[in-house]
């Protein structure tokens, strides 16, 4: 699902809530009207009076319109009171026939004035998360669950700084201004944990994040190149989202089989995102020398020149956990 598709579906969800709220309201009005003629009469007249107020307000400024608005308003309030009284007399709560929206702030329209309402923002974030490539496995990998207990001395100081830098990055995230990062360090030092923590935090702010392993990223390019997109999942060949997303996270660069094609894809992707000022996080087990050898200078110089490097150091956490568990 592309970014615009995620947004379109979120709007549909919010609109359907509105439609449901209105349908529920109409059903209640019909039910009560069938047993209570006073209510039916007051309600029928109210439906005429509402638009009258608007029409009279629009004609404001013309002679005598102020009094007209006042009169219609008074009539409206009287009818509302009659309707409430009729409900009460028949054993219903007074607000029984009010429209009950799921979001009182925007009446399920998704907007407050011209601003996007939080309810729509949450729906968009939900779709973005589903599409982000963050898997079940990384669900618990948040800043809160990241433990410094596995790091000692200088490593711990460094990792504490990394966590601080990335939490700040996520909380102050701006798709056109935030930095790009290069995570350097061996396997099992928390690179995936911190990148998925950053991804979740940025998604929660309503931004479109794509999280992909280098291997899957390049296979999407291969799919596009060989035009196999009709034989595989339709989104697999969708490489536009790598360019479009607010934050792209490429996990484990170097784990893929590198060839001329993947190198040129990587170069174009890094370059295009830099030109658009779009932040990217790339993590790799390779060191600077290996990066240069594998991806040529033009990529390495972009990564070391334009990305902020974050060093991950310590002893493999998975091994430590394994040792602790077997020692128990
Ligand atoms: Zn809302």
Tell me, in angstroms, the distance from the centre of ligand 1 to residue 123's CA. Answer: 10
Tell me, in angstroms, the distance from the centre of ligand 1 to residue 188's CA. Answer: 42
Count of C-beta atoms within a 10 Å radius of residue 166? 21
Does residue 231 surpass a pLDDT of 60? no
Specify whether 189 is located in the same domain as 282: yes
| CA nearest to 99, candidates 32, 43, 20 | 20
Tell me, in angstroms, the distance from the centre of ligand 1 to residue 120's CA. Answer: 6
| CA nearest to 250, candidates 168, 306, 180 | 180
* pLDDT value of position 312: 94
* pLDDT value of position 94: 86
Specify whether 205 is located in the same domain as 253: yes
Mean pLDDT score of the chain: 87
* pLDDT value of position 224: 77
In a domain, 246, yes or no: yes
- Please write down the long-range contacts of 216-220, taking CB distance under 8 Å and 24 or more positions apart: 216/133, 217/242, 217/250, 217/256, 218/256, 218/262, 218/265, 218/266
* pLDDT value of position 233: 44
Region 166-184 average pLDDT: 95
Specify whether 51 is located in the same domain as 155: no
Identify the CATH number of the domain in which residue 176 sits.
3.40.50.300
Predicted confidence band of residue 55 (pLDDT cuts 50, 70, 90): confident
Specify whether 228 is located in the same domain as 97: no
Compute the distance between CA of residue 18 and CA of residue 41 in angstroms, rounded to an integer: 26
Tell me, in angstroms, the distance from the centre of ligand 1 to residue 283's CA. Answer: 37
Compute the distance between CA of residue 256 and CA of residue 41 in angstroms, rounded to an integer: 73
* pLDDT value of position 95: 87
Surface-to-core class of residue 195, CB atoms within 10 Å of its CB (0-12 exposed, 13-18 middle, 19+ buried):
buried
- Quote the domain boundaries for residue 52: 21-101
Q: Are residues 271 and 144 in contact, defined by beta-carbon separation less than 8 angstroms? A: no
- Sign of dihedral through CA atoms 323, 138, 135, 16? positive
Specify whether 179 is located in the same domain as 292: yes
Region 8-35 average pLDDT: 94
Tell me, in angstroms, the distance from the centre of ligand 1 to residue 14's CA. Answer: 8
Bridge partners of 250, per DSSP, are: 212, 282
Tell me, in angstroms, the distance from the centre of ligand 1 to residue 12's CA. Answer: 13
Does residue 67 surpass a pLDDT of 70? yes
Number of structural domains found in the chain? 2
In a domain, 242, yes or no: yes
* pLDDT value of position 328: 64
* pLDDT value of position 57: 74
Tell me, in angstroms, the distance from the centre of ligand 1 to residue 210's CA. Answer: 26
Instruction: Give the residue with greater pLDDT, 174 vs 4.
Output: 174
Tell me, in angstroms, the distance from the centre of ligand 1 to residue 200's CA. Answer: 22
Specify whether 82 is located in the same domain as 151: no
In a domain, 121, yes or no: no
Q: Cβ neighbours of residue 270 under 8 Å, at least 6 residues apart?
A: 280, 299, 302, 303
Predicted confidence band of residue 236 (pLDDT cuts 50, 70, 90): very low
Specify whether 86 is located in the same domain as 138: no
Tell me, in angstroms, the distance from the centre of ligand 1 to residue 196's CA. Answer: 28
Q: Cβ neighbours of residue 224 under 8 Å, at least 6 residues apart?
A: 237, 239
Alpha helices in the chain (DSSP H): 3-35, 37-58, 65-89, 118-131, 153-171, 191-204, 214-225, 240-244, 260-275, 288-306, 317-327
Region 123-130 average pLDDT: 84
In a domain, 9, yes or no: no
Specify whether 97 is located in the same domain as 160: no
Tell me, in angstroms, the distance from the centre of ligand 1 to residue 13's CA. Answer: 11
Predicted confidence band of residue 264 (pLDDT cuts 50, 70, 90): very high
In a domain, 162, yes or no: yes
Q: What end-to-end distance do the CA atoms of the chain give, in Å?
A: 46
Buried b (16+ CB within 10 A) or exposed e, 206-229: bbbbbbbbbbebbbbbebbeeeeb
Residue 323 CA, chain-centre distance (Å), reads: 38
**Which of 101, 122, 146 is the C-terminal boundary of a domain?**
101
Specify whether 159 is located in the same domain as 249: yes
In a domain, 72, yes or no: yes
Specify whether 58 is located in the same domain as 176: no
Tell me, in angstroms, the distance from the centre of ligand 1 to residue 109's CA. Answer: 7
In a domain, 117, yes or no: no
**Which of 59, 80, 101 is the C-terminal boundary of a domain?**
101
Tell me, in angstroms, the distance from the centre of ligand 1 to residue 66's CA. Answer: 33
Q: Are residues 183 and 282 in contact, defined by beta-carbon separation less than 8 angstroms? A: yes
Specify whether 151 is located in the same domain as 76: no
Compute the distance between CA of residue 106 and CA of residue 129 in angstroms, rounded to an integer: 23
**Which of 62, 82, 101 is the C-terminal boundary of a domain?**
101
Tell me, in angstroms, the distance from the centre of ligand 1 to residue 105's CA. Answer: 5
Does residue 91 surpass a pLDDT of 50? yes
Specify whether 61 is located in the same domain as 161: no
Tell me, in angstroms, the distance from the centre of ligand 1 to residue 177's CA. Answer: 28
């Amino acid at each position: 699902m592309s970014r615009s598709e995620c947004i379109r579906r979120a709007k549909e969800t919010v609109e359907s809530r509105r439609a449901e709220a209105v349908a529920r309201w109409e059903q209640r009005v019909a039910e009560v009207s069938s047993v209570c003629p006073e209510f039916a009469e007051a309600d029928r007249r109210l439906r005429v009076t509402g638009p009258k107020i608007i029409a009279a307000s629009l004609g404001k400024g013309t002679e005598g319109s102020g009094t007209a608005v006042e009169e219609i308003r008074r009539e409206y309030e009287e009818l509302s009171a009659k309707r409430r009284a009729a409900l009460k007399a028949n054993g219903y709560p007074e607000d029984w026939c009010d429209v009950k929206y799921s979001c009182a702030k925007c009446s399920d329209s998704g907007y407050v004035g011209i601003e996007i309402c939080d309810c729509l923002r949450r729906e968009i974030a939900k779709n973005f998360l589903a599409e982000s490539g963050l898997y079940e496995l990384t669900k618990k990998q948040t800043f809160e669950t990241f433990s410094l207990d596995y790091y000692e001395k200088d490593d711990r100081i460094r990792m504490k700084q990394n966590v601080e830098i990335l939490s700040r990055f996520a909380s102050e995230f701006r798709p056109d201004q935030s930095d790009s990062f290069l995570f350097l360090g061996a396997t099992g030092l928390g690179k995936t944990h911190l990148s998925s923590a950053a991804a979740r935090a940025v998604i929660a702010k309503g931004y479109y994040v794509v999280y992909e392993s280098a291997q899957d990223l390049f296979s999407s390019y291969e799919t596009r190149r060989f035009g196999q997109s009709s034989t595989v999942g339709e989104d697999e060949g969708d490489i536009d989202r790598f360019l479009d997303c607010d934050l792209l996270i490429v996990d484990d660069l170097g784990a893929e089989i590198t060839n001329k094609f993947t190198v040129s894809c990587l170069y174009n992707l890094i370059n295009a995102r830099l030109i658009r000022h779009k932040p990217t996080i790339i993590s790799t087990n390779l060191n600077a020398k290996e990066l240069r050898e594998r991806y040529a200078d033009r990529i390495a110089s972009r990564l070391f020149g334009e990305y902020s490097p974050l060093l991950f150091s310590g002893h493999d956490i998975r091994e430590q956990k394994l040792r602790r568990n077997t020692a128990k």
